[in-house]
Structure 1
Amino acid sequence: MDGVYRYQRHIYDLTRKYYLLGRDDLIAGLAPPPGGHVLEIGCGTGRNLIACARAWPLAHLYGVDISQAMLETARVSIAKAGLADRVTLALGDACAFDPKALFGRATFDRIFISYALSMIPDWQAALARAATRVAPGGRLEIVDFGQQQGLPPLWRKALFNWLARFHVTPRADLAAAVEALARVTDATSHSIALYRGYALKTGLTRL
């Protein structure tokens, strides 16, 4: 992924601003408990963690990403925002990261994944890994590309072809996979299509 983002990282947030829809609504709804611990998997440039820190000033924040280049950008951005003392970043594979080794914690009150599962080849493994790291009573929240079911077929074809150029594949069975995980992790699931199916917001809540 460093090869993909070595140069893209400098313009990533600017170019994604208008089509990674639903990220800020997800962050606004996280509502971690005071002093709670929040992890973003696939944190990229740190944009979401900065927004989360501002929205939830009592939360302890963590981010993991497989791209060292992206983490370099994230560290700079987080420091410029004056949040270096509240956000801890680490290099790790979403499919196999060990949060205890990276952050000194095994579970988190909130975990969120924003437009990352559509870029991870073994996204089911990443999803399962995330679900097992949610603390009892905690939540996993995900937003990613939907199947465009409420939009014209030509739009869907053009968007999917364009996304493929950036190694992005919207996951048609994401909601079903979350529901299946909920059944085996003592959790309940939720899913809702956003913007006529442009995006999907899904996740689970541990009991």
Structure 2
Amino acid sequence: MSDVTSPTGDLMDSIYRTQRHFYDATRKYFLLGRDRLIRDLAPPQGGCVLEVGCGTGRNLIKAARRYPHALFFGLDISEAMLEKARHEVARAGLKNRITLARADAAGFDANALFGRAVFDRVFFSYSLSMIPDWQQALAQGYGATGAGGRLLLVDFGQQERLPRWFSRLLMWWLKQFHVTPRADLKQTITSLGKGRVLPLYGDYARIAEVVR
């Protein structure tokens, strides 16, 4: 397993130690497509869902409320974000259905963390663009997807159908937060298996799915 005390973990903690307190209030305006991804999860009765890079727990809480018949798990490399997530999960009264753990997305052992090796759904929500070894993280997520299950993700696109000035401004702004939209996301997704990548809002964002 990758070391969660790595420079990446330290960097994420330094970024989010303060931001975690207002992260959800601000990100709802530009992390577009997250709720669509949650609607698309549709886990089976008694199913298990893993979020890789769960941050404040916002997505897990919304998904757990939408799918009361499923169990949810989340991992993140930032202890600062996990502290916020634990608080929010407890406040929502969902500690019995949401389990959190600290781990590196590019090298986690799901069985050691959660007592299960595979899940019916695995998803990434605006986390791949912050993971240095994002292709390995995707491979890890796909490996944790059970047979017949689905891996889903949403993240920033390349703004191909939006004005060039907007794209340049957005890319500059994202760089300040160590966010890098993945230009070759489609190729990586399709290399894993039967998958698809769809642009949202003029390619502001991209949503993807791979069937195991």
- The aligned counterpart of 2:198 is 192
Q: Give the secondary structure class of the aligned counterpart of 1:159.
A: helix
The count of corresponding residues between Structure 1 and Structure 2 is 201
What do you get for the CA RMSD once the two structures are aligned?
Answer: 0.6
Distance in 2 (alpha carbons) for counterparts of 1:42 and 1:176: 21
Aligned partner of 1:179 among 168, 185, 190 = 190
State the Cα deviation string for residues 153-192 of structure 1 (Å, max 9, x = none). Answer: 000000000000000000000111010111xxxxx10111
Distance in 1 (alpha carbons) for counterparts of 2:83 and 2:52: 16
1:165 is aligned to 2:176: yes
Aligned partner of 2:70 among 54, 59, 63 = 59
- The aligned counterpart of 1:75 is 86
Point out where structure 2 has 5 or more consecutive residues left out of the alignment: 1-11
Query: Counterparts of 1:1-207 in structure 2 under 5 Å?
Result: 1-182=12-193, 188-206=194-212
Deviation at 1:203, TM superposition (A): 2.0
Distance in 1 (alpha carbons) for counterparts of 2:131 and 2:103: 13
Q: In structure 2, what residue type is equivalent to 1:109?
A: D
Deviation at 1:4, TM superposition (A): 1.2
Q: Give the secondary structure class of the aligned counterpart of 1:29.
A: helix
Distance in 2 (alpha carbons) for counterparts of 1:197 and 1:159: 12
Q: Give the secondary structure class of the aligned counterpart of 1:109.
A: strand
Distance in 1 (alpha carbons) for counterparts of 2:209 and 2:109: 21
Q: Give the secondary structure class of the aligned counterpart of 2:178.
A: coil
Distance in 1 (alpha carbons) for counterparts of 2:28 and 2:207: 18
Point out where structure 1 has 5 or more consecutive residues left out of the alignment: 183-187
Q: In structure 2, what residue type is equivalent to 1:166?
A: F
Q: In structure 1, what residue type is equivalent to 2:200?
A: L
Distance in 2 (alpha carbons) for counterparts of 1:10 and 1:41: 20
State the Cα deviation string for residues 35-70 of structure 1 (Å, max 9, x = none). Answer: 000000000000000000011111110000000110
Runs of 4+ in 1 over 6 A off after TM superposition: none
Distance in 1 (alpha carbons) for counterparts of 2:32 and 2:70: 24
Q: In structure 2, what residue type is equivalent to 1:203?
A: E
Q: In structure 2, what residue type is equivalent to 1:34?
A: Q
Q: In structure 2, what residue type is equivalent to 1:47?
A: R
Distance in 1 (alpha carbons) for counterparts of 2:91 and 2:141: 29
Q: Give the secondary structure class of the aligned counterpart of 2:41.
A: coil
